[in-house]
With several copies, the nearest count.
Chain A
Amino acid sequence: MSSERPAEVIYLDHAATTPVDPEVVRAMQQVLSPAGTFANPASTHSAGRRSHARVERARRQVAELLHTEPDCLVFTSGATESNNLAILGAARNRAHRGRHLITMRTEHKAVLDTFAALERDGFTVTRLSPDENGLLATATLEAAFRDDTQLVSVMHVNNETGVIQDIAAIGAACQRHNILFHCDAAQSAGKLPLDLARLPIDLLSLTAHKFHGPQGTGALYLADRTGCNIAPLMHGGGQERRLRPGTLPIHQIAGFGAAAELALAHQTEDLARLRMLNDRLWQGICSLPGVLRNGAAELAFPGILNVSAADVDGESLLLALEPVCAASGSACNSLSGEPSYVLRALGRDDRLAQSAVRFSFGRTTTIQDIDRAIDKYRFSINKLRSIGPAVERLAG
C-alpha cells in the first residue's frame, strides 16, 4: 500500500530456500574453475579420481553433520527426490512384508503426494492427525499399527509452523514393532542437532538449500541395518550404491558438504540467534489485536514464525508487506492455493488459516530486517483492516 519500493528486498522466507553462504559458493567455484575437479568421479583416470576424492570429502562433511557414516548417505537432487526414493523405494521393495503405510496429514506435499501415488497402486495409507499442538502422540501412532504396517513417515520440523515432532519416540515405537521409519528432515537438517548414531531412524531425507547450501542437491540417509534395503527410482550406471544413477554433480555436492560443515560449526550460535530474532518479531507484532501465533514457541523451531491475523486476506497482506518477502503457508503449497491443513489442525478456522504469514529466518537475517518486518506488518495489518468491511461493520 506504500508507494516507496526500495530495490533491496528483506528476505524472510528461509524455510522456502536460503541464500547460499559465500563460503559455500567458494567451494563450488573451486570445482567450477578451469583447474577444478570437474571430471566424472566414475572415471578411472587421475582427474576422475580427484573428483571421486572430492565427492567423498563432501560425503564425510555431510555425515559428520548427521553423526553418521559416509557410507550411509546417497546423494540425490533434493528432499523431494529423497522422500520419493525413501517412500516409494521402501514400500515397493517391502510390499511382501505388508501393504499398510502410516503418515501424517501435516506432512509436506512431497510426502503426501507420494503416499497418494502408492494408494493408487494398491497400498493402504493411514494419515494421522496431530493433536492441538501439531504433535503426533506415540499412543496415536501405536494405535494405528497393524500387522501389515511396513512403513511410517513423519517429518521432523514442520515447514509451515516449525513444530518439532518427537522423532526419537516415534522411531522407538516403530522399532519396537519392527516397522521401517522414514523422517523428512528437510526443515531441520543443518539447523537442529540430529544424531543419527543414536536416533532410531531408518531413512532420513535432507536438502542443502534449506541451510545455505545450493539448490538441487540433497541426500537420503539409509541406516546400516538389515531391512533398510529400498528399490531405486531410476536405473542406469552403478553410482550411489545403485540407488541413484547419473553423473554426480561435483560442485553441487562440494557445496552441500561445505554447507554441512558450516552448519555444524555454527549450530549453537545460529539457533540462539534465530530464537532472538523470532522473539523480537513476535514481541513487535503481538500487541496488534487479533494476531495469533500458529505453533507454540516452546514446541517449534525458532527459524519459523507463523502468524494469523483476523479480518485480513493473506495474499493481500503478503503484497502489502513488500519488499519484505514472506510466505503464505508452505512455499510448496502456494501453487495449489489450498488452505493449509496444518493450521486447521492447530484449531485455526479457514479464515484465520488463510491470513497466515510465515516469516522464516536464516544466518543472514539481521535485527534491522526484523524491525523493518515489524513496521511493515503493523502498517499493513492496519491499512488492510482500514479498507476492509469489518471496520465499517464495527462502526456501523
Chain B
Amino acid sequence: MSTVPDAYSPRVLGHFAQPVHAGDLQARYPVEARGEATEAGGGCQILLTAGTEGNAFREVRHRVLGCPHLIAAAEELCCRAEGQPVDAPALFDRSELMAVLDVPVEKSGRILLLEDAWQALCRALKRSAGRATEATDDQR
C-alpha cells in the first residue's frame, strides 16, 4: 500500500559506510584498464579501474557519482571480482546483484549502467592484455 522505498538493506548500508574499493588502483599491474559509463543527464557516473596479472583480477576499484544502491553495487562487484579469473563466467549477474543488495526495481536502470561500465572495462582489459602480450613478445 505504500510506495516509500524500504530502508536500505544492511548490506547496502555496510558498503555505503565503508566502500573499501572506492578510489584508484593502489599498485601497478602488468595489465590495467578502465571502463566508464554515464547516465544521459549526467546524474550518475561510474568509473571502474582494474589491474590484472596472470589473467586474474588483482585489484578492482570504483568511483561512483550516484545513489547508495549504485555505490553499494559497485563495491559488491569489485569485492567479488578481485581474485577471479578475468574470463570467469557471469562475474556480472545483474539480477543476482539486485537480489543480494535488495535494489528496488525502479533502479534497474542504474544497475544496467554499472553493467555498461563493467563491460567497457572488460573490453578495455582485453585490448590492454593484447598490447601487453605484444610488448612481452617484443621483449623476447
Contacts and interface: CB of A to CB of B under 8 A. Distances in A.
B3 A389 contact: no
B43 A335 contact: no
A250 interface: no
A3 B19 CA distance: 12
Given A354-B43, A387-B71, A389-B47, A335 B66 contact: no
A247 to B, nearest CB: 12
B4 A3 contact: no
Indicate the member of B2, B8, B17, B47 with the most A CB atoms within 10 Å.
B2
A140 interface: no
Contacts of B18: 1, 3
Contacts of B46: 389
Contacts of B24: 392
A392 B47 contact: yes
Interface residues of B, number: 31
Contacts of B22: 386-387
Interface string B44-76: 111100000000000000011111100100000
Main secondary structure on A side of the interface with B: helix
A389 B2 contact: no
A56 B2 contact: yes
A354 B2 CA distance: 23
A73 B1 contact: yes
Nearest to A49: B7
A387 B2 contact: no
Given A388-B65, A389-B46, A389-B64, A44 B16 contact: no
A59 interface: yes
A374 interface: no
Contacts of A105: none
A290 interface: no
A375 B22 CA distance: 22
Given A335-B4, A351-B43, A391 B16 contact: no
A313 interface: yes
Contact of B66 (A3, A52, A313, A390): A313
A316 B71 contact: yes
B71 A389 contact: no
B23 interface: yes
Given A1-B17, A387-B23, A335 B65 contact: no
Indicate the member of A319, A354, A387 with the most B CB atoms within 10 Å.
A387
Nearest to A390: B65
Interface of A: 1-3, 41-42, 44, 46, 48-49, 52, 55-56, 59, 70-71, 73-74, 238-241, 311-313, 315-316, 319-320, 335, 337, 350-351, 354, 384, 386-392
The 4 A-B pairs of least Cβ separation, nearest first, read A387-B22, A389-B63, A315-B67, A389-B47
